[in-house]
Structure 1
Amino acid sequence: MGLFRPYKQGQTETEPVKGSGQKGSGQNSADDATPAPSQPEPRAEETTQPRGRTAKTGPTPTRAQAEAARMARLHPNLSRKEIRKRDRRAREERRLSNLEALEKRPERTMIRNYVDSRRTFGEFIMPIFLVIMAVWLVIIMFMPRQIVIVNLLSLVMLLTMIGWGVDTWRLWRGVKKELMARYPDMSRKGLLSYLNNRVMTPRRWRNPAPAVERGGARRTPKD
């Protein structure tokens, strides 16, 4: 039997012993066919990073530092101009929210539909007043002695205001009848002013936009 040198752990090849015969060479070949023990594989914990965690880039902040950062996010240091701008935006948002809630009330919806479905004299008041004021200014600047024209413009303005009052009274009488029929226990405080503002605004500039056509079906909200 040929002699062989014992191999160390982890050694993959053995060197043949000098002077060994043919039989010894066969024994070494048999020994070389034996698989060498493999190196231990690294564990999963050593090769992979835990999920959901990021690499640490700096020292962990103290409790006081974390609290200061949180307060800075909640109460940022703003200038006076930025504070005024923020407060103004908050007030405008509250005003629009309250106005939207008021416009959804059924009595206001009924008044809008009542006015929008009719042709009113009040929607021409603002254009008439603007024309009168423009002509009046021209006369005062270039024709100050034309007293007759000035008196005529004053008469036109007076007639316009009388027509506005009559038209508002006519509309309010019809609206009040429908309010008494549909909402007898509802307070009518402020509704006359709301009707008057709706009448004086030209139709294309009314907000909310008209939901009915002129002379169309005069819809009223359902109970």
Structure 2
Amino acid sequence: MRATTPAAAAPVTAPPATGEPATGTSTGTSTGTGKGRPTPKRKVAQAANRRPLVPLDRKAAAREERARRRVQRDQEYRAMQSGDERFLPVRDRGPVRRFVRDSIDARRSLGEYFLPVAFVLLIAQTLLAATAPEVVLVLTLVLYLFILGTVVDAIILWRGLKKKLVARFGAEALPRGLTMYAVTRIFQLRRLRMPKPQVQRGQQPR
């Protein structure tokens, strides 16, 4: 018999490429640059746009705020003395309110004497209540008449002033609360009025 020889081994061929990484090394490299992490450019942009929501130094910010308010109060106080419109409080600014102040300050009114007169009459009533009740009755009547006189005088002053305001600035230019603003100044002593009077008695307002 003839001896048989084994068949020659078939050649080994490489598997077809599938597009996937062949080694663990390449897989690790691909994972590092995937979508799971932001790119360096994105990190830079986020760092540039990040701002602190609160001051880093609260004490320094508080000191700066107190200093700013102190300067503002000083400016307002000096403006109250000089009448400088730039630094007056908001409630006192504007040509309308300045005209109201000047018109009231230029005229002598009963209202500016109300507090001292009423104080004196009330003290006198208290001291004489036990010894001279008749005098107390007279003083009470005088006080009531004086109160009535101050109210009537204030009404007359305001009605005349309002006509001047409408003629000069127009009705639509008169802000709300102007009546109370004027009445409050009418019933203050001239030396205690703030802002300080900028006109003399009898002087026409500008």
2:150 to 164, 167, 179: 164
Amino acid at match of 2:114: I
Identity of aligned residues (%): 31
Residue equivalent to 1:122: 111
Question: Post-superposition shift, 1:172?
Answer: 0.6
Task: Decide which structure has the larger Cα Rg and report it.
Answer: 1
The residue number in structure 2 matching 1:74 is: 58
CA–CA distance in structure 2, aligned partners of residues 215 and 187 of structure 1: 24
Where does structure 1 differ by over 6 angstroms across 4 or more consecutive aligned residues? 96-99
2:100 to 103, 111, 114: 111
Distance (whole Å) between structure 2 residues aligned to residue 188 and residue 152 of structure 1? 42
Question: By how many angstroms is 1:159 displaced?
Answer: 0.7
The TM-score with structure 1 as length reference comes to: 0.53
Match of 1:155 in 2: 141
1:173, CA displacement in angstroms?
0.9
CA distance in 2, matches of 1:161, 1:107: 28
2:96 touches 2:174 (CA, 8 Å); kept in 1?
no
1:200-219 map, 5 Å: 200-219=187-206
Instruction: For residue 207 of structure 1, give the secondary structure of its aligned residue in structure 2.
Output: coil
Give 1:187 shift.
4.2
The equivalent of 2:182 in structure 1 is 195
1:102 aligns with 2:91: yes
Distance 1:138-1:102 versus aligned 2 partners, 3 A rule? same
Q: Bigger relative contact order, structure 1 or 2, given CA contacts below 8 A and separation 6+?
A: 2
Deviation at 1:119, TM superposition (A): 1.2
RMSD over aligned CA atoms reads 2.9
Q: Deviations over 1:89-120 (max 9, x none)?
A: 89x96xx7997122112221111010011111
Give unmatched runs, 5+ long, in structure 1: 1-66, 79-85
Deviation at 1:128, TM superposition (A): 0.4
Displacement of 1:139 in angstroms is 1.8
| Contact 2:111–2:186 under 8 Å retained in 1 | yes
Equivalenced residues, count: 134
Shift of 1:74: 1.7
